C-alpha cells in the first residue's frame, strides 16, 4: 500500500488539467480574453502589411499560442489539495490500528455540505458581502434546531403531567376534611 500511494503521489500531476476549480477556470478565461484582445490589436496594426496567407498563418499560430497559455495557466493554478487526497496519506498507519476505513466515506459529507453551505448561499443575495449573510442564516437555523430540541422535552413533560392529571381526580372531586369545610370557599367544594 505504501508503494502504491507513493507511485500515485508521484504521478498525480497528470490529473491537474481536469482539477481546475471555478476560480482557476475564471482566471484562465480572463487570460483568454486578454490574449484574444491582444491578437485583434496586432491584426489591426499589421492588417495592411500582411498577405492573406501570412494572416492565416499568424491566426493559426496565435490560436495555438492561446491554447498553450490557457493549458499552462490551468496546470499551474490547479491543485490536488483537498481532504480526500490528504486522508490517503494516513491509511497506512490507520488500517492496522483501527481496521476498515468506513469513516472515510464521502457519502456523509455531501449532505452536510448541501445543508451548511449551498442552502445558506441560496438564502443570501449573492453579492460580494455574502459571508456574513451565510453565517447569520446558518446561526438562525441552528438556533431554531436548538429551540426545537429544548421544546421536545417540555412537550413530553406536559404530556406526562396531563396524563397524571387524568389519573388523579380533580381537586373539587376530593372531599375536604370535615374540620376544614367551614373555612373553605364554595369554589373549592
Alpha helices in 78-186, H assignment, sequence order: 83-87, 91-98, 109-113, 119-123, 130-167
The more confidently predicted of residues 34 and 8 is 34
Q: What is the pLDDT of residue 117?
A: 76
Q: Where are the domains of the chain?
A: 2-117, 118-189
Q: What is the pLDDT of residue 160?
A: 75
Using 50, 70 and 90 to split pLDDT, how confident is the model at 189? very low
Q: Which three cell numbers stand for residue 49?
A: 502589411
How distant, in Å, are the alpha carbons of 12, 26, 120, 121, 132 from that of 128? 34, 16, 14, 12, 10
Global pTM reads 0.40
**Distance, CA of 120 to CA of 134 (rounded, Å):** 5
Residue that the C-alpha cell 490528504 belongs to? 86
pLDDT at position 180 over 50: no
Amino acid at each position: 500500500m505504501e508503494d502504491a500511494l507513493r507511485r500515485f503521489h508521484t504521478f498525480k500531476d497528470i490529473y491537474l488539467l481536469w482539477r481546475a476549480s471555478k476560480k482557476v477556470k475564471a482566471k484562465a478565461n480572463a487570460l483568454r480574453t486578454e490574449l484574444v484582445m491582444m491578437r485583434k490589436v496586432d491584426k489591426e496594426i499589421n492588417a495592411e502589411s500582411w498577405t492573406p496567407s501570412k494572416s492565416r498563418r499568424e491566426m493559426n499560430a496565435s490560436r495555438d499560442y492561446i491554447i498553450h497559455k490557457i493549458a499552462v495557466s490551468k496546470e499551474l493554478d490547479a491543485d490536488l489539495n483537498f481532504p480526500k487526497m490528504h486522508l490517503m496519506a494516513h491509511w497506512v498507519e490507520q488500517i492496522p490500528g483501527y481496521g476498515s476505513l468506513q469513516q472515510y466515506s464521502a457519502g456523509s459529507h455531501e449532505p452536510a455540505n448541501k445543508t451548511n453551505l449551498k442552502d445558506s448561499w441560496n438564502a443570501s443575495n449573492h453579492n460580494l458581502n455574502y459571508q456574513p449573510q451565510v453565517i447569520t442564516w446558518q446561526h438562525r437555523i441552528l438556533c431554531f434546531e436548538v429551540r426545537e430540541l429544548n421544546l421536545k422535552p417540555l412537550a413530553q413533560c406536559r404530556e406526562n403531567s396531563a396524563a397524571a392529571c387524568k389519573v388523579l381526580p380533580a381537586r373539587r372531586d376530593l372531599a375536604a376534611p370535615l374540620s376544614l369545610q367551614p373555612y373553605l370557599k364554595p369554589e373549592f367544594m
